[in-house]
Amino acid sequence: MPLDTIGTFSVSRLSILDETGKADTDLMPDLSEDQLIYLYESMTLSRMMDARMLNLQRQGRLGTLPVCTGQEAAFCPAILAIRDTDWFVGSYRELGARLMRGETLMNALLLFNGYEEGNVNPENDRTLPISIVLGSQLPHAVGLAYASRLKGEKDTVALTVFGDGSTSEGDFHEALNFAGVLDAPVIFLCQNNQFAISTPREFQTRSETIAQKAIAYGIHGIQVDGNDALAVYQAVKEAADRARQGEGPTLIEAVTFRMAMHTTADDPSRYRSDDLVASWEKKDPITRFRKYLTKEGIWDDDRQTALEARIKSDIDAAVKEFEQGVEIKPDAPFDHVFGTPAQIIEDQRARFLAELEKEADHG
């Protein structure tokens, strides 16, 4: 019996902008000046809001918070590359992506101060709320993509975002497998930010890349420089185009770095060196993109100053509104147990309200 090679596989990596902001013109995506500026502004908004929220948390004015600074190029361009009518099924570390999907600054503050109301996207009813349990949102994207096809929306795709840690979850495997078998138009965008809390990427998997895992499921897979906004845009755009044309799912590994802590409850100095962090600072995605835009003559210091002033003022206004206090309906959780009335729930609501009143009376 001969020993034959029955398959050979390769994994590609896409990079368009180098660290100096120089673009590979052959690979340049088809983006207008307005789109490029919108993308840059969105990434900057994400960075500034992230910083402000971290600041508020440190002052005790916000609850525990996941921080996404450094990863803006790994998620913002993906939103530009899909349509509002596509599904976005996120995780919890892509603030800028959510803002681009119509999330309000106010809602971001609400959610991380403990109000479910912050999960409601007022602009887009195809954006799922944040998902905390790692990888569990991936199968949802597969189902949404399948539902769109079955309902005759030939042009709709689903984009889901997750981290490198999630690729160890069973749901990652199950979702990629289902997507392949069902030929679902879905894009799996992995934010490989090198650490799952303290656990480095190489402890999650012996695979050299996450992108190569696509091969095992018979779907497209590619690695991109996740700090390169243009490369991420291009990879997601190509995946979306393929999915729309009925060519199935894609796994994209965006290689990036979580510049700050996992959440505000985490101390990254326990598990990674300053040198490592410093080496990634040189690759900062926003700085790099700004250099490119400046070289192209579509961005300058004046525009930068104006942008930062505008964003600061928007954030100030949202924080002010938020701190004026939010009127909440204390018994709202009883409204959303079931979609039909249930006596046992209503009895408990009455008990809850009566207890609240007693608490108020007796302090």
Partner 1 sequence: MAKINMVQALNTTLHDVMEKDSSVLIMGEDVGVNGGVFRVTDGLYEKYGRERAIDSPIAESGILGTAIGMAIGGLKPVIEMQFSGFSYEMMHQLEGNASRMRNRSRGQFSVPLVVRMPYGGGVRALEHHSESKEAFYAHTAGVKVVIPSSPTNAGPLLRAAIEDPDPVIFMEPKRSYRSFKESVSPKDYTIGRAEIVRSGEDITIVSWGAMMRDTLKAVEMIESDTEFSPEIIDLLTISPMDAATIVESVKKTGRCVVIQEAQQSFGPASEIIALINDQALMYLEAPVKRVTMYDVVMPLFAREMMYLPSKGQIVRAIRETLEF
Binding site for partner 1 (CB under 8 A): 87, 89, 116-117, 119-121, 125, 128-129, 131, 133, 136-148, 150-151, 158, 170-171, 173-175, 177-178, 181-182, 332-333, 335-340, 342-345, 347
Q: Closest distance between partner 1 and the C-beta of residue 33, in Å? A: 35
Q: Look-up: residue for tokens 């799912």?
A: 249
The whole-angstrom separation of Cα 336 and Cα 117 is 12
Which of 50, 86 has the CB closer to partner 1? 86
End-to-end Cα separation, the chain, in angstroms: 84
CA 192 to CA 249: how far, in whole Å? 19
* Closest distance to partner 1 from the beta carbon of 148 (Å): 6
Is residue 362 part of the annotated active site? The answer reads no
Lookup: tokens for 22: 């120089």
CB of 104 closer than 8 Å to CB of 122: yes
Active site residue 233: no
Q: How far is Cα 308 from Cα 194, in angstroms, rounded to an integer?
A: 29
CA distance 250 to 218: 10
Sole residue written with tokens 């990634």: 280
* Residue 30 Cβ vs partner 1, minimum distance, rounded to whole Å: 30
Nearest distance in Å: CB 345, partner 1: 6
Q: How far apart are CA 311 and CA 42, in angstroms?
A: 10
Distance in Å, CB of 139 to partner 1, minimum: 3
Choice between 276 and 342, CB closer to partner 1:
342
Residue 334 phi/psi, 5-degree rounding, is -70, -25
Q: Which is nearer to partner 1, 21 or 129 (CB)?
A: 129
* Of 23 and 216, CB closest to partner 1: 216
CB of 158 to partner 1, least distance (A): 7
Annotated catalytic residue, options 47, 101, 258, 290: 258
Among the listed residues 47, 93, 149, 262, the single catalytic one is: 262
Question: How many Cβ atoms sit within 10 Å of the Cβ of residue 196?
Answer: 19
Cβ(180)–Cβ(217) below 8 Å:
yes
Looking at the Cβ atoms of 42 and 137, the one nearer to partner 1 is: 137
Q: Which is nearer to partner 1, 136 or 287 (CB)?
A: 136
Q: Which of 58, 83, 271, 310 is catalytic?
A: 271
Clarify whether 303 is annotated catalytic. Answer: no
Q: Packing angle between helix 301-323 and helix 33-58, nearest 10 degrees? A: 40
Among the residues of the chain, which ranges form H helices? 33-58, 72-81, 95-100, 105-111, 138-150, 170-182, 201-204, 213-217, 229-244, 274-281, 285-295, 301-323, 332-335, 343-362
In DSSP terms, which residues pair with 18 in a beta bridge? none
Q: Which residues are catalytic?
A: 258, 262, 271
